[in-house]
Amino acid sequence: MTTDTMTIRNIDRPVSRIALGTWAIGGWMWGGPDDDNAIRTIHRALDEGINFIDTAPVYGFGHSEEVIGRALEGGKREKVVLATKLGLAWTDDEKVYRDSRPERVRKEVEDSLRRLKTDVLDLEQVHWPDGKTPVEETAHALEELRKEGKIRAIGVSNFSVADMEAFASVAPLSTIQPPYNLFERVTAERDVLPFARKHDAVALAYGALCRGLLAGKMNSETRFPENDLRSSDPKFQPPAFARYLAAVEDLKKLAARHNRSILALAIRWVLDQGPTIALWGARKPQQIEGISEAFGWSLGEDDRKEIDAILKRHVPDPIQPDFMAPPQRD
């Protein structure tokens, strides 16, 4: 199939503008793992032309990386641009906290290389800023690893403009990863996208489907188990949930006029904001269905105005994803 592609600084091949997001594959906060389905999902994404996979150690406490390593055996690794992250540690009882000290940077890179069964990481990102470690120290440690050939490109996620500026003064920033979707726009549009344009970086939009809300399959009866992060996301609780579902219904009608699903509309909207890549989270092969619908078209100005009007009508005060921020270390 034909996919949109773009280049990322210091990565030697074009990447698909939809990347496979693998948080759910790790199982943690998504109801537990299902490895057989996860591997089939990864293979289905490759078959659909997706050559970019994004993961992180904290996704299942190493489990997502291990599953990806298994899925890419047998020559598949060479076809894939592989991105992971560092900077989050955890206790034995699975309490996550931020830690980007230089000594941990090197250890995390080595651990990810082992779990992913690869000699080099195409993209290593700092998952969350560590308020107790100077940004420049983390950047310097990553730049050393880049020069050693263990990583090709460097990115950050969930960083402020000030922290990104400090980081970029030490090491080249190829990517920035913010939460960004139709319902969660404020920080990305105010801070991240202007920085990316100015610094020749690419924005990797995580949560592009807003944790499944923009897949269009939820209704007022949808419930989430306690170990699913959506059980603590205020967007998925009353009374807010009903407002978001109403917006989704109107967005479905707009998408139908283009003979597209709302899922394709949501992804296309992210891609049209450029320089952007949308992370498509999936853990079952059938959740890859519809990727091709996001390519080969664009939203017009009237479409964008109508989308903004729908959001203003139903969700005038959108809830931002602050609930996901992990604490600083003690």
Per the CB < 8 A criterion, the answer to whether 214 and 263 are in contact is: yes
Annotation marks residue 180 as catalytic: no
Q: Which of 30, 23, 11 is nearest to 55 (CA)?
A: 23
Other Cβ atoms less than 10 A from the Cβ of 292: the count is 15
* 4 DSSP β-pair partners: none
Peptide bond into 275 cis (omega under 30): yes
Give Cα separations from 326 to 88, 89, 243, 262, 303 (angstroms). Answer: 8, 10, 27, 31, 36
Burial of 15 (0-12, 13-18, 19+ CB in 10 A): buried
> Looking at 59, 180, 206, 244, which residue is catalytic?
59
Per the CB < 8 A criterion, the answer to whether 116 and 68 are in contact is: yes
Distance of CA 317 to the CA centre of its chain: 23
Q: How many angstroms separate the first and last alpha carbons of the chain?
A: 49
Q: Which of 54, 43, 44 is nearest to 18 (CA)?
A: 54
* 176 DSSP β-pair partners: 156, 203
Dist. CA 281–CA 206, nearest whole Å: 8
Token pair of 290, please? 């519809």
Per the CB < 8 A criterion, the answer to whether 260 and 293 are in contact is: yes
Token pair of 255, please? 């998408």
User: If you write DSSP's letter for every residue of 178-203 in order, what string do you get?
Assistant: -B-BTTB-HHIIIIIHHHHHHTT-EE
Among all residues, which ones are annotated catalytic?
Answer: 59
